[in-house]
């Protein structure tokens, strides 16, 4: 039986009585119309576990009693890290939501040159808060108990200065600028692969200079076929294919 899943940023232990935050309380009382005695599932985003809890009070705040800890299976894939050029708000939300559902380990918004927006520190702070809420909501819906890490927006130059690829890493670039694209179907994953970095541009794509920089720093440019995919479609296709290829590798 499935129960309503709620994220709370705190540690849990059995028999513990905790008070839910205002947002969670509102959702349970006003949106889902739950009552005292109803069972919900809590997770803290930090461990492969979830907790069954019983609602004990729905007064000004909602309190629950932790009844059971359930260990969940850890993912058996390489850590997928999506580095996505910042798109328009609704498209960005869609990408983050679906990427979380497909099991990414981290998400990095990339401020590439062909972006459609300008940013200041205040705007970035608000976007980070909003994107974090999208991640939490997607985890609640999809059953993911460990929150993917949300990294702050970064430029291609700073990203390349910070990343150090290892022999167990695979680095994928998707751009139409480089004629020497490989078919993603030819990608060879090893069971020793620990991290897969996926670079996808915004609506305007990457510049030739950005593509050159990525390739010089260890990324290989791959193609998704002859059709041109939207910025919000490409990452979903890539992540789905990678999950499939990884499952094939594990079953071989």
Q: How confident is the model at residue 119 (pLDDT cuts 50, 70, 90)?
A: low
Query: C-alpha dihedral over 164, 131, 239, 203, to 10 degrees?
Result: -90
Task: Compute the mean pLDDT over every residue in the chain, rounded to the nearest whole number.
Answer: 89
Q: Which long-range contacts (CB under 8 A, 24 or more apart) does 244-252 make?
A: 245/187, 245/189, 246/77, 246/78, 246/189, 249/189, 249/190, 249/191, 250/76, 250/191
- 3-state per-residue secondary structure call for 181-200: CEEHHHCCCCCCCCEEEEEE
For the segment 71-81, the average pLDDT, to the nearest whole number, is 83
* Greater model confidence, 207 or 41: 41
Do domains 5-71 and 79-251 share one topology? The answer is no
pLDDT at 118 over 70: no
Q: What is the structure's pLDDT at 103? A: 93
Q: What is the structure's pLDDT at 225? A: 77
Q: How far apart are CA 51 and CA 49, in angstroms?
A: 7
- The Cβ of residue 86 has, within 10 Å, a number of other Cβ atoms equal to 23
Q: How far apart are CA 225 and CA 33, in angstroms?
A: 47
Backbone angles phi, psi at 217, to 5 degrees: -105, 20
Q: How confident is the model at residue 117 (pLDDT cuts 50, 70, 90)?
A: low
Q: Where do the domains of the chain lie?
A: 5-71, 79-251
String of b and e for 223-238 (b: at least 16 CB within 10 Å)? bbeeeeeebbbbbbeb
pLDDT at 1 over 60: no
Write the CA distances from 57 to 3, 35, 36, 146, 164, integer angstroms. Answer: 18, 8, 6, 27, 50
Please tell me whether the overall predicted TM-score, pTM, comes out greater than 0.85 for this model: yes
Q: What is the pLDDT of residues 186-227, one digit of tens each?
A: 888 888 889 999 999 888 788 889 999 999 999 999 888 777
Which CATH architecture group holds 79-251? 3-Layer(aba) Sandwich (3.40)
Per DSSP (E only), the strands in the chain are 5-7, 17-19, 39-43, 49-58, 62-71, 79-85, 106-110, 149-150, 169-174, 182-183, 195-200, 220-223
- Which span out of 84-93, 128-137, 235-244 was modeled with the highest average pLDDT? 128-137
Report the CATH superfamily, name and number, of domain 5-71.
Answer: Hypothetical PUA domain-like; domain 1 (2.40.240.20)
């Amino acid at each position: 039986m499935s129960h309503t899943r709620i994220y709370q940023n705190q540690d849990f232990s059995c028999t513990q009585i905790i008070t839910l935050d205002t947002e969670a309380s509102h959702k349970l009382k006003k949106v889902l119309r739950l009552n005292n005695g109803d069972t919900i599932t809590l997770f803290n985003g930090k461990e492969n576990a979830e907790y069954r809890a019983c609602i004990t009070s729905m007064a000004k705040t909602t309190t629950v009693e932790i009844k059971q800890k359930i260990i969940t299976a850890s993912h058996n894939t390489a850590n997928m890290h999506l580095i996505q050029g910042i798109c328009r708000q609704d498209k960005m939300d869609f990408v983050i939501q679906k990427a979380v559902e497909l099991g990414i380990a981290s998400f990095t918004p990339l401020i590439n040159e062909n972006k459609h927006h300008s940013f200041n520190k205040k705007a970035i702070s608000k976007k980070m808060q909003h994107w974090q809420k999208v991640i939490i909501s997607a985890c609640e819906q999809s059953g993911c108990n460990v929150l993917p890490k949300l990294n702050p927006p970064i430029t291609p130059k700073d990203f390349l200065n910070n990343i150090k690829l290892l022999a167990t890493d695979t680095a994928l670039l998707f751009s139409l600028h480089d004629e020497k694209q490989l078919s993603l179907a030819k990608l060879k994953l090893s069971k020793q692969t620990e991290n897969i970095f996926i670079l996808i541009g915004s609506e305007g794509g990457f510049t030739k200079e950005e593509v050159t920089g990525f390739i010089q720093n260890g990324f290989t440019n791959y193609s998704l076929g002859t059709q041109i995919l939207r910025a919000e479609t490409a990452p979903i296709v890539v992540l789905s294919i990678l999950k499939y290829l990884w499952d094939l590798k594990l079953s071989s």
